[in-house]
Amino acid sequence: MSLLEIKKLTHRFAGLCAVSDFNFVIEPHELVGIIGPNGAGKTTVFNLITGVYRAGEGSIKLEGQELVGKTPHAITSLGIARTFQNIRLFRELSVLDNVRIAHYGRIRYSPAEALLHVGRFYAEEKRITNQSLDLLSIFKLDDSAGEKAKNLPYGLQRRLEIARALATQPKLLLLDEPAAGMNPNEINQMMEFIRWIRKTFSVTIILIEHQMRLVMGICERLAVLDFGATIATGLPSEIQNHPQVLEAYLGEEVVK
């Protein structure tokens, strides 16, 4: 069974069609990319998958389970985690707490046990803290576990955001412009890093990216959006020479 099945997804913002008739099927362990010019509706697709917006029409199924109409935290608990285009960490909280919050969906103590610190509370807190510290040390962030997230340098903030997303134990990881604002050298590192994440955590990854170097380098399949419409899907090599894609990026005159 495919991991994620998006069928006829359509969403409008007061008449403006942000995404229209988007179809996409993702198999387990794939690494796929969604590209397109600014305002093409890429982030809207992520927001629809994760439940930030409720899809107007169409269906999104994770392992056969319908996601449209579910709340974001329910969808995250089912196994979809994401990062954001403009980093959205809990800035005033410690790096450790940022990761611990992501365990919320799987805590096994009740609010009453939390209020009185009895029962399963201590064992569970110990587990959450240790797992979070382990995750941080995998990401080489354990040295700054007690630091406030806002004090980390930009690159580490990106890394922490991915670590936080992985702490929810997702099956599907959505990366929204992971290489934004990086130089070619850092992009190469980011490519290695994304491949390594997929292998280590055995997750399926969908990424949105503007850096063609990264997209063409690691994605196995691509979907290209323009003004909400899907103009092409296929292998990176096919996309590179697709006439409609060139038109969308470079303009009609140049292509002709």
Instruction: Decide: is 104 part of the binding site for another protein (CB under 8 A).
Output: yes
Q: Which of 107, 180, 187, 246 binds another protein (CB under 8 A)?
A: 107
| DSSP code of residue 186 | H
Direct distance between the N- and C-terminal alpha carbons of the chain, in angstroms, rounded to an integer:
42
Q: Which of 8, 12, 126, 213 binds another protein (CB under 8 A)?
A: 126
Strands (E), 3-148: 4-13, 16-26, 31-35, 57-62, 65-66, 80-82
Q: Which residues does 87 contact at the CB level (< 8 Å), separation at least 6?
A: 154, 157, 158, 161
Q: Which is nearer to another protein, 56 or 105 (CB)?
A: 105
Q: Which is nearer to another protein, 82 or 221 (CB)?
A: 82
Instruction: Decide: is 88 part of the binding site for another protein (CB under 8 A).
Output: yes
Do residues 30 and 45 lie in contact, with contact meaning Cβ atoms separated by under 8 Å?
no
Strands (E), 90-238: 172-176, 204-208, 221-226, 229-234
Of 35, 27, 142, nearest to 96 (Cα)? 142
Of 142, 118, 148, nearest to 130 (Cα)? 142
129-161-78-10 Cα dihedral, nearest 10 degrees: 160
Per-residue string for binding with another protein, 132-161, x by CB under 8 A? -x--------xx-xxx---x----------
Q: How far is the CB of 105 from another protein (least distance, A)?
A: 3
Give the C-alpha distances (Å, rounded to integers) separating 57 from 46, 123, 155, 174.
15, 44, 37, 21
Per-residue string for binding with another protein, 25-64, x by CB under 8 A? -------------------------x-x------------
Q: Which of 90, 193, 201, 249 binds another protein (CB under 8 A)?
A: 90
Instruction: Decide: is 102 part of the binding site for another protein (CB under 8 A).
Output: yes
Q: Which is nearer to another protein, 27 or 143 (CB)?
A: 143
Q: Which is nearer to another protein, 114 or 216 (CB)?
A: 114
Written as six digits, the tokens of 143 are 């040295």
Instruction: Decide: is 23 part of the binding site for another protein (CB under 8 A).
Output: no
Using CB under 8 A, list all residues that contact another protein.
Answer: 50, 52, 71-73, 76-77, 81-82, 84, 88-93, 96-97, 100-107, 109, 111, 114-117, 121, 125-126, 128-129, 133, 142-143, 145-147, 151, 164-165, 167-168
